[in-house]
Structure 1
Amino acid sequence: MNLRTDVNDAVLIAGPTASGKSALALALARKSGGVIINADSMQVYRDLCVLTARPSAEEETEVPHRLYGHVDAAVNFSAGSWVSDAARVLAEVRAQQRPPIFVGGSGLYFKALTRGLSAVPPIPGEIREAVRARLDRDGVEALHAELARRDRAYAERLEPRDRSRIARALEVIEATGRSLLDWHCEALPPLLAPGTFRALFLAPERDALYARIDARFETMLQHGALEEVARLAARKLDPLLPAMKAHGVPALIRHLEGEIGREEASEIGRADTRHYAKRQFTWFRHQLPEFEWMSPDAATEWVDGLP
């Protein structure tokens, strides 16, 4: 793989959580003078720094980092919102004639970059709150039954207890009068045209990755993750918000409320993160096969070999 010199070219670094993406992006930015742009759906939240392994303040000072910690946890930040922000940042970086380096683990963000995204308009807050209130009052099965009456084709694609997706589907119907399936047919164009980017997926050996996930989660707890979650829990936000479902957050809140012990909360957080990493491998393999899979060592050698 060769790094191009055209300022319009981007480098995309994806991979499972804890695979070394951020370190690779930092090394590449040092060599190329590039700007690192976040493509991780949890690292956008300012309330979650330790638990999402965001770059350190020193790293952000050394190399420009964009779209990290710029969203409040109370915001239901969507892929469409990220695309809007990323388009603005991409234009700024290109105007500076610096290579953009997108790094993260959120497959939908990378898919939006390279293939486009559904054109669902923003959902008014009052509609979202009304649907979530009904979800709490009536239960997920009742809302799935309602979705089946109003949008049978989409309801059949969902598990009857998938709270987030059922609520989302009903919100879209309430706000637009149309099914999500209709909106998916009206995709927004990709931000990056074919031939203007190089994309790689870091693929560590599974056992080594899972061991690293376990060790990193414990390190997070030792460096303030529990205190970070305590501050978030004190805000009493909707548990269906994305930030409230970040890996480790629900279990650590249960621990803080005295429901489970610290070790059990840690094990749940570690297990959830390992399962997520497994899903990331599967998602990228099937959804974005154009990404070049590389071991972390091979990717490091590539960067080290750049002029």
Structure 2
Amino acid sequence: MAELPHALIIAGPTCSGKSALALDVAERLGGTVINTDSMQVYRELRVITARPSAAEEARVPHVLYGVRPAAEPGSAAWWRGEALREMAAAEAAGRLPILCGGTGMYFAALIDGIAAIPDPGDAARAEARWLLAEFGPKGLHASLAKVDQATAARLRPSDSQRVARAWEVWRGTGRGLAAWQAQATQPAPWRFSAILLDPPRDALRAAIAGRFSAMLVDGALDEVRSLLALKLDPALPAMRAHGVPELAAHLRGEITLAEAARRAELATGQYTKRQATWFRHRRLADPARTHTIHARIAGLKQFSESQKADLFSFIQVVG
């Protein structure tokens, strides 16, 4: 185990201060920040997904941010392959790979491996999209439960992306997604240590509200307007990023901007609850190699000198 290269994970719910901490740690230790957020991979969504700014990206290497067009949905399998390549490149350059984000599925795929599922094919994908549009995610989930109960039991009926993905896999391969995922996988050949941010709920709610207000000032409405002009399939992941459906409804004249902000903040808050639950119950690293921070932070500036020393001592010891 000690012979494997070391990578650092900085994880936690949206608005917990991950990006700022990763930037500071990367500057101090000579790291490369590797995006582990499923929405920050889309190039059209810099503002609405709170991607690092151009100035922040210039301070240390940042990779896998804004690398896909919104028309091309990403996947855990695609991201894992790209992340492993970027981790190897950072290691070869003498830099510490720092995986920063809040997408638990991506962390799980990277650490534990992911089943090699055959491409279901265009016909299965088209059918899943049609059924989703015709019957909605709950209707499609009910249909999925009749043919692949094991997979349906794992999915929230409202999770349109994963329900549609499960349907297309069953239809296109003849086997359910749960059955494919039960196959043996190949863990990543790395040692992982983790800094897990787990801030109080009230601090997180305040941070979400503040961030969305800042997004509006920074041009989130124009960004969503430009995205809608592409006339993409509304089922695409990028079209359902937090804030996009709500601002789109405002741009169509259906709700006020204040109501759009309220709904977006509510949806984001609900998502952070699911994120926090996932991180509390899933292993990102051995418990001895995990350091949990319960206060919301915005980089090292909010730490005392003794807290900074403890943080970097942890990273150096586990590394």
Give the TM-score normalised by structure 2.
0.86
- After superposition, where does 1:19-38 map in structure 2 within 5 Å? 19-38=16-35
Q: Which residue does the alignment assign to 1:118?
A: 115
Deviations 1:169-218 (A, max 9, x none): 1100122111111111114322244xx22111012222112101101101
Change (3 A) 1:197 1:144: closer
2:151 is the counterpart of 1:151: no
Structure 2 counterpart of 1:82: 79
Equivalent position of 1:41 in the other structure: 38
Deviations, residues 270-296 of structure 1 (Å, cap 9, x unaligned) = 111111111111111112274431134
The aligned residue for residue 206 of structure 2 is 211
1:174 counterpart letter in structure 2: R
Task: Report the AA paired with residue 292 of structure 1.
Answer: H
Alpha-carbon separation, structure 2, partners of 1:304 and 1:153? 43
Q: How does 1:147-296 map to 2 (within 5 A)?
A: 147-160=144-157, 162-193=159-190, 196-288=191-283, 290=287, 291-295=290-294, 296=297
Q: CA deviation at 1:135?
A: 2.6
CA change 1:226–1:114 in 2 (3 A) is same
Cα deviation, 1:39-83, whole Å, max 9, x if unaligned, reads: 111111101001111111111112100000001111121111100
Which range is displaced more, 36-45 or 172-181?
Answer: 172-181
Distance 1:44 1:150 in 2: 33
Amino acid aligned to 1:246: A
2:126 to 126, 129, 137: 129
Aligned residue identity for 1:231: S
TM-score by length of 1: 0.89
Over the residues paired in the alignment, what is the CA RMSD in angstroms?
2.4
Change over 3 Å in CA distance of 1:87–1:74 after alignment to 2: same
Paired residues of 2:161 and 2:235 also in contact (CA < 8 A): yes
Identical pairs, percent: 48
Q: Does the 8 Å CA contact 2:120/2:172 hold for their aligned counterparts?
A: yes
Aligned CA distance change for structure 1 residues 205 and 175 (closer, same or farther; 3 Å): same
Q: Distance in 2 between matches of 1:300 and 1:246?
A: 34
Distance 1:171 1:127 in 2: 5
CA contact (8 A) 2:161 2:237 kept: no
Question: Runs of 5+ in structure 2 lacking a partner?
Answer: none
Q: Aligned partners of 1:148 and 1:255: how far apart in 2?
A: 35
- Gaps of at least 5 residues in structure 1 are none
The one-letter code matched in structure 1 to 2:46 is C
